[in-house]
Structure 1
Amino acid sequence: MVAGVLAAGAAVAADPVIGRATVVDGDTIEIRGERIRLNGVDAPENWQTCGDGDGSIYRCGKLAALALDRFLAASRPTRCEITERGRYQRFVAVCFRADDREVSRWLAESGNAVDWERYSNGAYAGAQALARSRGAGVWRGKFQLPCLARAEHAKREPSC
């Protein structure tokens, strides 16, 4: 039984999902009816707000999703290399635009997501440091890490 599950997982990982991506939120897309969670980054939730450098509040989650949509639209189609099926039964993948720019790296570089070291093993730490040094995206003011915001919103323990 375990061998069958491993073999099925290996077959899924070998076949990339390619197509026009629709943005669900700042770190989740859909291609051909498959929900895909971008590996290694965590973007603010659509409902999440962040502080701007001037003390005002803005909808950073909504802006992250809009920025991702613009980024993907600039070079289609999107190709996702599946790494696993996550706990919500959506694929987790490393995705690339048609010009081979890695989506998760761009999200971290632009400050529209943070490196989720728990899953990335620090792969996007340098990109995040660049965004932070430039005050890009969420780094332009105060914000709550998305994993902490989700936990607070759901009144449960954080998973980060």
Structure 2
Amino acid sequence: MYFFQTLSLLALWACYGPAATTTPAQLPSQVTPVSARAMMTPAQPPSQVTPVSVHAMTTPAQPALQVTRVSAQSLTGVPVVIDGDTVRVAGKLVRLNGVDAEEIGHFGQPDEPHGHAARAALQAIIGIGAEVHCRLNNETAYRRAVGICFNRQGQDVGAELIRHGHALDCGRYSGGRYRSLEPDGARATLIQKPYCGQ
């Protein structure tokens, strides 16, 4: 049997060359292997929507005067009196801390009854062409720095405005330091801002 097998192989060799004796196991595979990773659907690009936390989506309750922190400083200069509780010093708006004066109409709002009188009184307390020195308290209210301003005589101009009956103590922000300066009947005459408290 072995003899005949040998003869068969020699005959094949003679007719077809060495390729005829190559067993199927020796033939190189014609299929290029493909990894499982390459066959998978490509990963989708990440979502372009930035995740927003529930906290970020919740609008926080704002305090009455929208108070925020700023750096401490002081300002000195000849002011422009905007109304009874606001002056512009060295180009910066300053809200007089703890002073509640009636408003002059802004943005289409009507004047309050004593708004112009309060502004005129504050201008008289400061003086025409006179400087004030304002000590700011690290807060802002409606984009205005907040502080206490002093005239050239060293008087707290907000305190003097209240003393003369043109404004009220805003206890929420003054801590009540001006309340004793209010003349009798001032609270019956002037409008008190709701956020100032009683």
- The answer as to 2:123 corresponding to 1:69 is yes
The residue type equivalent to 1:127 in the other structure is: L
Q: Quickly say closer, same or farther: Cα 1:89–1:19, change in 2 above 3 A.
A: same
Aligned twin of 1:48: 112
Q: What is the TM-score of this pair, normalised by structure 2?
A: 0.57
Structure 1 residue 87 and structure 2 residue 151: aligned?
no
- Which sits farther off after the overlay, 40-49 or 66-75? 66-75
Is 2:95 the partner of 1:37?
yes
1:99-153 deviation line (CA, Å, top 9, x unaligned): 101111101101111000000111001111xx22xx5xxx3963431x14xxxxx
In 1, the alpha carbon distance for the partners of 2:141 and 2:150 equals 23
In structure 1, what is the equivalent of residue 22 of structure 2?
none
CA, structure 1 residues 107+159, in 2 after alignment: closer, same or farther (shift >3 Å)? closer
Aligned positions, number: 123
% identity of equivalent residues: 31
Q: Please report how far the alpha carbon of residue 76 of structure 1 lies from its aligned counterpart in structure 2 after TM superposition.
A: 2.4
Alignment CA distance shift 1:123-1:75 (3 Å): farther
- Cα distance, 1:66 vs structure 2: 0.7
State the partner residue of 1:28. Answer: 86
Name the one with the larger helix percent.
1
Q: What are the within-5 Å matches in structure 2 for residues 9-158 of structure 1? A: 9=70, 12-13=71-72, 15-46=73-104, 47-49=111-113, 60-73=114-127, 76-128=130-182, 131-132=183-184, 139=186, 142-145=189-192, 147-148=193-194
Q: Which has the higher contact order (CA 8 A, sep 6+)?
A: 1
Larger radius of gyration: 2
TM-aligned CA deviation for residue 43 of structure 1:
0.2
User: What letter corresponds to residue 120 of structure 1 in structure 2?
Assistant: S
Question: Cα deviation per residue 1:68-99 (whole Å; 9 max; x = unaligned)?
Answer: 11111168210000002323121000110111
**3-state secondary structure, aligned to 1:86:** strand
Alpha-carbon distance in 1 for matches of 2:82, 2:189: 24
1:6-61 residue CA offsets vs partner (Å, 9 max, x unmatched):
xx94xx32x31000011111000001110000001110111101xxxxxxxxxx11
